[in-house]
Structure 1
Amino acid sequence: MFKNKKILSLVSMMIVLMLAAVGCGKGSENANGGNGTVKDTLIVAQGADAKTLDPHASNDNPSSRVIKQINETLVVQDENMELQPGLAESWEKIDDLTFEFKLKQGVKFHNGEELKASDVKFTLLRALESPNVGHIVGAINKNAIEIVDDYTIRIATTEPFAPLLAHLAHTGASILNEKAVTEAGDDYGQKPVGTGVFKFENWINGDEINLVRFEEYHGEKAKVEKIKFRNIAEATNRTINLETGEVDIVYDVLPTDMKRVEENDKLTLMRQSNLSTNYIGFNVQKKPFDDVRVRQAINHAIDMESIIEAVMQGVGSVAYGPLGPNVWGSNQNLKPYEYDVQKAKELMKEAGLENGFTTSIWTNDSKTRMDIAEIVQNQLKEINITTEVKVVEWGAYLDGTAAGEHDMFILGWGTVTGDPDYGLYALFHSSQFGDAGNRTFYANPKVDELLEKARVSVDQAEREALYLEAQEIIRDDAPWIFLNNSENVDGVRSNVKGFVQHPAGHHRLNSVYFE
C-alpha cells in the first residue's frame, strides 16, 4: 500500500513537471523566443516573389535580395560602397586591361565542390551570354580570361574599363559552380548552389523561399539557423504581419505606414537614402511616344511635387534626371520639367495631338506605384490623354516590358555599383534593349557615343564630363517621366539585432540575430 502511494505521488509530480514544461515551451513560442528558446528562423517579407535564383537569369530586386544570401562575388562593396575582398582575397592590376585575382583557398560550394579558378571562368563566360546581366560583365574579353592555377585567375577587358571591380561586386557576377549548373540545366534557377552563408532549402512559388545556414561556410557563420523570405504583395499587410510578430523584418514600408511603425515600441523604422531612381518610362518605339514633343508634354503635365507629397509623404526627393545624388557623376544641375499644363497643351498641338489619345500605364502590384499611376492618369486628362492603368504580376511585368508590349510603365533602377556607367549604359544605350535594362527602347547615337567613351576612359574627370553631357541629352529627350530618388525604408522587430541596410537595397543578413 505504501509503495503504491509513493508511486502515485511520483507520477503526479512528473505530470506537473511535464505540464509546466509544455506550458513554458508554448509560451516561448508565442513570445517569439522571449522567455525560452531563442528563435532560429528569421522571417523577412518583401513585396514580390523572386523571379529566379539564377544570378544570370534576371536583374530584379526581389530576386537579388535572396541571391545575395546564397552567392558571393570576387569582390564586395560594403555598406559604405567601399571595395572589400570577397572570394578573391587579393587582386592586382597588371596593366590597363588586366586584373589578376588570388582566390581564397578551401572555399566550398553548397554541393561540397571546392571553388576553383575554372568556376570563375565558367561563370564569367556564362554571364557574358546572358541578356539580363551581360552588360554588367560585357567589358570583359571572353578570349582573355586566363587560369594561372587553381587559385589564380587573370581577367582582361577588351578596352580599359574603370568600373570593372565595382561591376564584379554585382550579384549578376556571383560565382557559380560549373558542376551544379550543368547538372541542373534549365532548372538551375530553382536549384541554386553558391558559396554563401546560407544555402537553398526549398521554394514554394509565389509564397516563400527557405534558406538554411551553411555550416561549412569559409568565413564567420550566420548567426541564425534559417531565413524564410515571404512574398506579401500588399504593403500594409506586411506591416500588420510585422506588428503581430509573424515576420521579423519588412522591406519597403509604405510611406503611409511609417508612422505606425515609428509609434510601436516593439518595432524600429530604418531609413536610408539609396542608389535608386524611380521613373515612368515610355515605349519610344510606339506611336505617339516616338515624338519627343509628346514625351515632353507629358512631363510638363505631371505635378511631381504633389505626387511626392501625396504618395511618398516626404520619402526621397524629386528626380531631376536619371541618376540620384548618391551616385558620383550625377548631374544635379539639370533643370526639372516644370508643371505647366499650358506648355504641355502647346507641345501636344505642335505634335498634332491637341485632341489627345488613349494609352495605358503598366505597374506591378505595388500600392505606391498603383497610387502614382492613378494620379498620373487623372493629371493627363488635362491634356486629353485617356489612360488605362494595368496591374501586372511581377514576373509577367518584367517579361512584358522586356518584350516591348507596354505603352508606359512604372519602374525603378538602382545604380547598385555606385558608378554612373551602371545607371546609364544599361538603361539608355541602344544595345541594351529589353532584359538588359533599356525597356523604353530609347536610342540616340550621341548618347551611345558619350557612354562608350566614358566606359573606356581611365580619366575620372573626363568620365564625369561625358556623363554630365549624356544626362542633359537624356533629360531633353525625355524617355522617362523622372519621378523621385528613393530611400530604403524597412521595419524591424525590436528583438532583431545586427540588421544593417545597404544602399543598393540588397541587404546582407549574415550578421542578424535575435536578442
Structure 2
Amino acid sequence: MKRFSHFGARFFLVMAAALAIVIAGCSKREKYPLGEAGGMLTIGSLNEPASLNPLLLSFTAPSDIQEKLFLSLHRFDKSMNIVPELAESWKFSEDFREVTYHLRQDVKWSDGQPVTAEDVKYTFDLMTDPQVNYSRAGYLQFVETVEVINAYAVRFKFNRLYSDELFDTGIIVLPKHALEKQASLASGEFDASPVTDGPYQVEQWIRGDRLVLTANPGFYKGQPALEQIVIRFFGDEASLAAALQNGEVDMTEDLSPQSILKLQGDPNLVAIDYPGRSYAYLGWNLKSPLFASAQLRKAFAMAIDPSEIIQSVLLGKGQAAAGPILPSSWAYDENLKPMPYDPEIVKSALSDLGWKSLNRDGFLAKNPRQALQINLLLAQGQPVLEASAAIIQKQMKMAGVKVNVQVADARTFIQRIRTGAYDVMMFSWKNDLKVDPTAVWHSKVENKGIFNLLEYSNPQVDSLIDQGLGTLSRRKAKDIWVKFQQVVAQEQPATYLFVPNAVAMVYKGVKGAQSDARGPLASLDEWWIPSAERRGAQVAAVTPPAPETPAPVTTPEPETPASTPVTNKPAPAAPKPVPVKPAPAPKPVNPQDILVAETPTPAATPAPVAAAPEPVAEIPPTDPEPTNIGKAEYPDLARKAGITGRVFVKVIVGADGKVKSAEVLRGIGGGCDEAAMEAAKKSNFKPGTVNGQPAERSFTIPYSFR
C-alpha cells in the first residue's frame, strides 16, 4: 500500500478546506428561516411505508419523511455540500484512517433522553449486523470499528483509505434505549410510533389512511413553522390528483407527466421541477448470439431516438441518458453523448452482418423466412416504460427491425431474465447520492453486483469501479469514473434512454418550497403557510369522522377498536387507548405478518313480538378463522427495485372454509399485488357463521413486503 505522503499536497488542501467549512458552519447555532408559525400541510402519496424505522428501508434512497424524524451525523445542504447536523464538528486523523465526530449536546430524543455517542455506536452495530439485513450495509464495508470516546464523541476507524469516508459515516442515528427493549428490530411500538430527535415527531398513524406528524417543540434549532404535517395515502393516481385539485392535498410528488399536464392550468397549484435520480435503459441479452457483438448492440442503439420519448411520454420533463452516472452527478462525463439516431446507418451496419434485404412487411431479412425481429420484455404496471416501448417499436421498424413488445408480470419478468429467455429488456434504476455503480455493473456477485441483471462481466470495468471507490482525490476519481462511463458506452451492454425529471405539484400558498438536487421535501421543515393562505377545512381532516361501520382492516389487537389510530397521545377526556403494536416483520419467504378479520356489520335485532314476553335474540355472526394462510413470495423484481409496503387482500370465504374469490384492496405494484392475491387464494379457514350456521363471509389479509 502506498504511504500517506504519496497522495500529494492537493488532496490535503481540499480536505483542509472542507474541514474549515465544517468548523465555520458550527461556530453558531443554526436557526430556521423566519416564517409565520402554525398551520398544517397535507401531502398526498401513493406509497405507504411498511415501517418508520430507517433500518427497514429498501435499497432506494432514504425516505424524506423519515429524515424529518431522525437526525444524521451530517447532511447535504441545497448546494450539495456536507454540513453538520447531529455532529457539530468532525476531525480526521493525520493518516485519514480515523474520523472523530463531536456531537451536539443540546439534542434530545422525544422522550427527553439525551442523544449520545452510545446511540451512534448502537446504530452502527445494527446496520452491520447480518441478521438486520440493512440495505445500505455495503456502504459501511470499509469501517472497521466504531468506538465511543465519551458521551458526546465517537470515532470511526477504517480498514482502508477511500474517497467516501465522510459520506459513508454520516449515518442516521437511532435511540439505543428505545430499541434495545424490543424483542426484535421489526416488532414493537418503535416500528409505528418511534422515539425521534428530528424537527417532527409522530402523533398518529392510521394505516391505510394517513400519517400525522407534529412539530417537535424541543428541537435544537427551534420549532419549525408548520405545526402539523399530514401524509395521506391514496390507492390510485386519479384519486390523488382529484384531492390535490379540490384542496384536500397541498403537495405531491407522485403524479405522472400526463396528470401534471392536466393540472398545470390550475391557478392554485405550482409545479416544482428538480433533477431526477433514476434512468431508464434497454438491457441486451449478452448471452444471445444475436447480441454478443458490441457492433450490433451499437447499431440497435442508433435506431432509437430518446428525444421523441422525452417529448411524447415525459412531455419534455427529462433529458437523454448516456450512461449509468446521471448528468446531475459530479462524476458525470460531460463529453459523453447518446448514440446518434440514424436509421440509415443502422441498416448499413446490419447489412454488414448479413441482414441485407427487406421483406414485404418492410423488415430486414437474411432470407424470406428469416426476418430480423427481437422481443422487448418489460414488467407490467409501468405506464411510462410501456409508452416508451411503443415508440421504440415504431422507431425500430423504420430501421427494418421488427420488435415484439412483451409485458409480463413481475415474477415472469425476472424468471425470464434469470433464464435468458429474452432478447432485450427495459428497466429503470434509481441512483443514490453516492457515486457507486457496483451493485449494477460489477461482475462479482458476492456483496457487489447483486443487481447485475444482465450478468455483464468486464475486468476493466470491475477494476475501474474498485479504483473509483478507493481514490481519495475527487479529481482523480472523476477521471476514473469518466473512463468507466466511456468503456461501458463502447461496449453498449445497455442502451440508455432517458433521465426523467421529478415534478412536485404544490399549493401556491406554501412558502419556502424550493427545487434542488435533494428533492423538495428535503427542505420540508423550512416551509410555512401564511395564515391568510391556510385552508381551514384541512384542520378537521386530521381526525377523520368515525365511520358508520368499522374499518375493514383492523389491527391485530382484539381489545383495540379498528378505528383507533396508532398514536403517541391519549385522547382527551377518555381512558388511554391500548397502544396498537405493529406486527413483526416477516421473512422474505413468509411476507404476511398479521391476520386481520373483517369486522361485520351486526344484523339489526328484530323487534319483539307483542304476544311474546321477551324478544328472541339473534345469534351474532362470527368471522372466518384462519387455519392456514398462504405464504406469498417476495418477487425478485420488487426486491431489487426497492418496492416495499403492505398489500391488503380481501377474500370471500365460503361455508366450506375455502376461499372463493380474492381481490386487492390496496396494493404496491411491482408484482407484489399478484403474489399476495395468489397466496391468499391458497388459504384455508374455519368458516364464519350467520345465525349459528356456516355462511359465506369476508376476511382481509395484509401481506408485508420488505
Normalising by the residue count of structure 1, what TM-score does the alignment of the two structures yield?
A: 0.77
Q: Aligned in 2, Cα 1:124/1:96: closer, same or farther, shift over 3 Å?
A: same
Is the CA contact 1:131–1:435 (under 8 Å) kept in the aligned structure 2?
Answer: no
Pick which of 176-185 and 228-237 moved more.
228-237
Aligned partners of 1:397, 1:509: CA distance in 2, in Å? 40
Residue 490 (structure 1) aligned to one of 504, 508, 523: 504
Residue 305 (structure 1) aligned to one of 295, 307, 317: 307
Alignment of structure 1 residues 89-128 onto 2, 5 Å: 89-94=88-93, 95-128=95-128
Q: Identify the residue that residue 145 of structure 1 maps to in structure 2.
A: 146
Q: Identify the residue that residue 28 of structure 1 maps to in structure 2.
A: none
Q: Identify the residue that residue 15 of structure 1 maps to in structure 2.
A: none
Mind listing any 5+ residue stretches in structure 1 that lack a counterpart? Answer: 1-37
Alignment of structure 1 residues 127-142 onto 2, 5 Å: 127-128=127-128, 129=130, 130=133, 132-141=135-144
Q: Identify the residue that residue 25 of structure 1 maps to in structure 2.
A: none
Residue 317 (structure 1) aligned to one of 305, 316, 319: 319
Aligned partners of 2:143, 2:223: CA distance in 1, in Å? 33
Is the CA contact 1:68–1:508 (under 8 Å) kept in the aligned structure 2?
Answer: no
Is the CA contact 2:101–2:153 (under 8 Å) kept in the aligned structure 1?
Answer: yes
Is the CA contact 1:145–1:154 (under 8 Å) kept in the aligned structure 2?
Answer: yes
User: What is the deviation of 1:76?
Assistant: 0.9
Q: Identify the residue that residue 692 of structure 2 maps to in structure 1.
A: none
State yes or no: 1:58 paired with 2:57.
Answer: yes
Pick which of 428-437 and 438-447 moved more.
428-437
Is the CA contact 1:430–1:448 (under 8 Å) kept in the aligned structure 2?
Answer: yes
Instruction: Give the SS at the match of 1:450.
Output: helix
Aligned partners of 1:131, 1:397: CA distance in 2, in Å? 27
Q: Identify the residue that residue 667 of structure 2 maps to in structure 1.
A: none
Aligned partners of 1:238, 1:435: CA distance in 2, in Å? 37
Instruction: Give the SS at the match of 2:222.
Output: coil
Q: Deviations over 1:409-433 (max 9, x none)?
A: 432424424xxx33x2343223567
Aligned partners of 1:167, 1:288: CA distance in 2, in Å? 41
Q: Identify the residue that residue 480 of structure 1 maps to in structure 2.
A: 494
Aligned-residue RMSD, C-alpha: 3.7
Letter in 1 for 2:173: I
Aligned partners of 1:223, 1:76: CA distance in 2, in Å? 20
Identity over aligned pairs, percent: 22
Q: Identify the residue that residue 18 of structure 1 maps to in structure 2.
A: none
User: What is the deviation of 1:342?
Assistant: 2.4
State yes or no: 1:429 paired with 2:442.
Answer: yes
Is the CA contact 1:415–1:504 (under 8 Å) kept in the aligned structure 2?
Answer: no
Q: Aligned in 2, Cα 1:304/1:234: closer, same or farther, shift over 3 Å?
A: farther
Pick which of 188-197 and 306-315 moved more.
188-197
User: What is the deviation of 1:247?
Assistant: 0.5
How many residues are matched?
463
State yes or no: 1:178 paired with 2:176.
Answer: yes
Letter in 2 for 1:75: H
Letter in 2 for 1:386: N
Letter in 2 for 1:256: Q
Letter in 2 for 1:211: L
Normalising by the residue count of structure 2, what TM-score does the alignment of the two structures yield?
A: 0.58
Instruction: Give the SS at the match of 1:211.
Output: strand
State yes or no: 1:166 paired with 2:185.
Answer: no
User: What is the deviation of 1:336?
Assistant: 1.5
User: What is the deviation of 1:127?
Assistant: 2.3
Aligned partners of 1:384, 1:333: CA distance in 2, in Å? 32
Is the CA contact 1:363–1:369 (under 8 Å) kept in the aligned structure 2?
Answer: no
Q: Aligned in 2, Cα 1:430/1:166: closer, same or farther, shift over 3 Å?
A: same
Q: Identify the residue that residue 387 of structure 1 maps to in structure 2.
A: 405
Q: Aligned in 2, Cα 1:492/1:343: closer, same or farther, shift over 3 Å?
A: farther
Structure with greater Cα Rg: 2
Aligned partners of 2:258, 2:523: CA distance in 1, in Å? 26
Is the CA contact 1:281–1:439 (under 8 Å) kept in the aligned structure 2?
Answer: no
Residue 467 (structure 1) aligned to one of 468, 481, 486: 481
Q: Which has the higher helix share?
A: 1
Q: Deviations over 1:2-28 (max 9, x none)?
A: xxxxxxxxxxxxxxxxxxxxxxxxxxx
Alignment of structure 1 residues 84-483 onto 2, 5 Å: 84-94=83-93, 95-128=95-128, 129=130, 130=133, 132-141=135-144, 144-169=145-170, 173-182=171-180, 183=182, 184-187=184-187, 190=192, 192-205=194-207, 207-232=209-234, 234-235=236-237, 237-272=239-274, 274=275, 276-280=277-281, 282=283, 291=292, 293=294, 296=298, 298-339=300-341, 340=343, 341-342=346-347, 345=350, 355-358=372-375, 360-362=377-379, 364-365=381-382, 367-376=383-392, 379=395, 383-390=401-408, 408-417=425-434, 421-422=435-436, 424-431=437-444, 438-483=452-497
Q: Identify the residue that residue 616 of structure 2 maps to in structure 1.
A: none
Instruction: Give the SS at the match of 1:305.
Output: helix
Q: Aligned in 2, Cα 1:504/1:475: closer, same or farther, shift over 3 Å?
A: farther
Q: Aligned in 2, Cα 1:443/1:228: closer, same or farther, shift over 3 Å?
A: farther
Letter in 2 for 1:449: S
User: What is the deviation of 1:290?
Assistant: 7.7
Aligned partners of 1:457, 1:229: CA distance in 2, in Å? 41
Higher relative contact order (CA 8 A, sep 6+): 1
